[in-house]
Amino acid sequence: MPSGQQPQKHYGITSAISLAPPREIDHHYTKKLCDAMKPFGVFEDEEELNHRLAVLGKLNNFVKEWIAEISELKNLPPSAISCVGGKIFTFGSYRLGVHTKGADIDALCVAPRHVERTDFFQSFFEKLKQHEEIKDLRAVEDAFVPVIKFKFDGIEIDLLFARLALQSIPDNLDLRGDSILRNLDIRCIRSLNGCRVTDEILYLVPNKENFRLTLRAIKLWAKRRGIYSNMLGFLGGVSWAMLVARTCQLYPNAVAATLVHKFFLVFSKWEWPNPVLLKQPEDSNLNLPVWDPRVNPADRYHLMPIITPAYPQQNSTYNVSTSTRTIMSEEFKYGLSVTDEILQGKAEWSKLFEPPNFFQKYKHYIVLTASASTEENHLEWIGLVESKIRVLVGNLERNEYITLAHVNPQSFPGSKENRNENDFVSMWFIGIIFKKVENAESVNIDLTYDIQSFTDTVYRQANNINMLKDGMKIEATHVKKKQLHQYLPPEVVQKKKRSIAELNRSSNGGSSKRLSLDSSHLDSSRDTDSGTPFNSPPSKPSKPTSDTDDRKCYCALVKLVSNMSSFDFPTPSPPHPEEPPLKAKPPSPPASSSITSSTKPTATSSPKEEPNGLEDSVNGAPSKRPHSPTQEDPAKRPKNTDTSLAGSKAKPIPTIDTSRTQRLPSMELPDASSPLPASNSCRVVKNSIKLALNRHK
């Protein structure tokens, strides 16, 4: 603990659950945790860290030179030019101190008021072009958060820009104060948000080193278990950081091994949709949109709210769906059982990082294939398709016969047997659990509309931004588990164990460029291999943790979670029981399609969960899955209520309002009135997907 820090200091919006200091055995388990993480490349050596510092120093000087040149061109007096300043700030995993080997750096260029955004994307971009150490330079000026991407001496950097209402930018500038946001345009506020949130998280944790080591472990676990992806409806880096920070606040004196265990204890019992807050939200009177269910009705229906601590407060998990929340809740429970075993000396830390066998988990899968005729087109195309996969998951969730749709964040290259020789192909797999239909020998299920509305969304978006090119296609196919070998190599389907040497080769770039969707986001995730993680050397079994201590912590946690609704953000009441149930749209393909509707079960048939794969932990689930409405279906609300995954009383099923543009990337969901690209009909592959579930098997 840092000198002078009092263990009784209050962190977060509640008092701590336990102030117990670490025991000798806790330090021992923490050391073993570090050893178990090392083979995955989560720690950089001193040389790599120094290289990053040197690159950032050069970039900072580069920015200062550029701002001075711009100031001279704009006829500022020499006395002002000499002190005009400019500075590079970092955020994300690098700023938090949890970046992995080869990870990119998220950075922000802060300039004074006379430097325009157009200067950044024109003159600064041109200046970067002339620098011999800078490669792969590209600007994304029309993005939700505009960015310049490049490699500086081998290190990938995503550089944002913010222009402050200041005459000069001093080296000691602190971005945490809300007053710095005054008189800024929304793009600058968005660009500043990453730095402000990261700095606030670090300020709100009791011990930064314990927080960092715990976060490294949780991020590695999330990536290995396939639940690290904000884009696909799981959690991204900042959300995992806030959950770990909240755990640190509740156990301020605990070391990393204890904190990892308490993380799973806290969030396996958490009663979603109660929000996770690191501090009481404050209003800065700047009239910026913030997450507040008292004011914004749509916020009351977010499924798993984790609220950023810096103004303007936002929910970092608006992409979470019913399925992804169910999957993550099951993973929290599994993580708790594994860490219980570890702290009782019955297992090693390596067990926590073992990947699940996704391809043995379900009986049914949807294979989503995106293909293009050139590598450049393919990279662009799969980026768009991947960003829309959560739309497909939402469509499947609201099908009355589907209990759960589980997308695997890892994409796979297309097999030679299932593609044209010259095509570049990527595949994603979605595991499906169907509800059991009572009083019916078999049921015919038509997924055509669910798939078709998704492909319409993707093609409409691609057409709107002039991306659609010859050869770009999407296909969706239903397959059973026994057919997966037609798409994937045997070692992936069977999940064979691999050696440490193979594991390290994979974690250091042995896989394809697009194997992990984290490669260009908060962190460069190299943890997408399918091997068995490093096993720590065996050690003597230690004395189990005290059952009495765990009971005390559990009772305190139940009290904490049950009182969460009193912290300014009340959870909503369930919809009125007389409200009509949510009905899925009937299949209504365009007239040009030859798809016919399938036979539905009789009126006496009622859907019930099919007992395969992941068990649905939502007791008493509604007959149709609730969903996040697209713009084609914005106003529907679910009738039935969801039972908390922790076994608590019924909770409302949230619905995400995708019309709130400040929370979504630009052109996130195109207008439903936008026409489909008529001239590109040959590229739109719309297969009829119908299947019959026979209950006699």
CATH number at residue 342: 1.10.1410.10
Averaged pLDDT, 598-617: 38
- Is 594 part of any domain? no
Tell me whether residue 560 is in a domain. no
Is residue 74 part of the annotated active site? The answer reads no
Poorest-pLDDT segment among 415-419, 420-424, 474-478, 498-502: 498-502
Q: Higher confidence at residue 535 or residue 99?
A: 99
Nearest to 314 by CA among 189, 216, 465: 189
Query: Same domain, yes or no, for 314 and 396?
Result: no
Q: In this structure, is residue 679 part of a structural domain? A: no
Domain termination site, one of 204, 226, 248: 204
Same domain? 188 vs 211:
no
- The residue type of 290 is V
Q: In terms of domains, do 52 and 87 share one?
A: yes
Stretch 504-520: mean pLDDT, rounded?
A: 36
> Whose structure tokens read 């929340």?
325
Domain end, chosen from 319, 334, 356, is at 356
Residue 351 has pLDDT above 50, yes or no: yes
Least confident of 223-237, 390-404, 623-637, 673-687: 623-637
From 11, 228, 449, 459, the catalytic residue: 228
User: Does the pLDDT at position 660 exceed 60?
Assistant: no
Question: Is residue 514 assigned to a domain?
Answer: no
- Strand pairing report for 155-163 and 87-91: unpaired
* 194 shares a domain with 61: yes
Pair 69, 191 in one domain: yes
Does residue 512 or residue 410 have the better pLDDT?
410
Active site residue 228: yes
pLDDT digits (tens, 9 = 90+) for 95-139: 999 999 889 999 999 999 999 999 999 999 999 999 889 999 999
Tell if the pTM clears 0.85, that is, is over it: no
Catalytic-role residue among 93, 168, 411, 506 = 93
Number of domains making up the chain: 3
Range of the domain at 408: 358-496+686-694
Task: Give the three-class secondary structure for 435.
Answer: strand
- 305 and 373 in a common domain: no
Model pLDDT, residue 107: 97
Give the pair of three-digit tokens for residue 297: 């009705």
Lowest mean pLDDT among 437-446, 491-500, 658-667: 658-667
Question: Is residue 14 domain-shared with residue 57, that is, in the same domain?
Answer: no
Q: Are 567 and 13 in contact (CB under 8 A)?
A: yes
Specify the pLDDT at position 422: 65
Catalytic residue among 11, 32, 71, 106: 106
The verdict on 340 and 394 lying in the same domain is no
- Bridge partners of 405, per DSSP, are 432
Residue 632 has pLDDT above 70, yes or no: no
Structure tokens belonging to residue 192: 């500043």
Tokens 């899925």: give the residue.
584
Q: Which of 287-291, 450-454, 524-528 has the lowest mean pLDDT?
A: 524-528
Considering the candidates 11, 94, 119, 219, report the single residue annotated as catalytic.
219
Catalytic residue of the set 11, 26, 71, 104 = 104
Q: How far apart are CA 522 and CA 23, in angstroms?
A: 34
CATH number at residue 433: 3.30.70.590
93 is catalytic: yes
Catalytic residue among 32, 94, 119, 158: 158
Query: Domain boundary at 169, 204, 239, which?
Result: 204
Does 456 qualify as catalytic in the annotation?
Answer: no
Indicate whether 179 belongs to any domain. yes
- Percent of the chain residues past pLDDT 70, beyond the cut: 68
Give the closest residue to 245 by CA, choosing from 272, 215, 270, 220.
215
Three-class SS state of 459: helix
Query: Is 94 a residue of the active site?
Result: no
Question: Residue 480, SS3?
Answer: strand
Contact status, residue 29 vs residue 343, Cβ threshold 8 Å: yes
Q: At what angle do helices 256-269 and 547-562 cross, to 10 degrees?
A: 50
Is 633 known to be catalytic? Answer: no
> Is pLDDT above 50 for 454?
yes
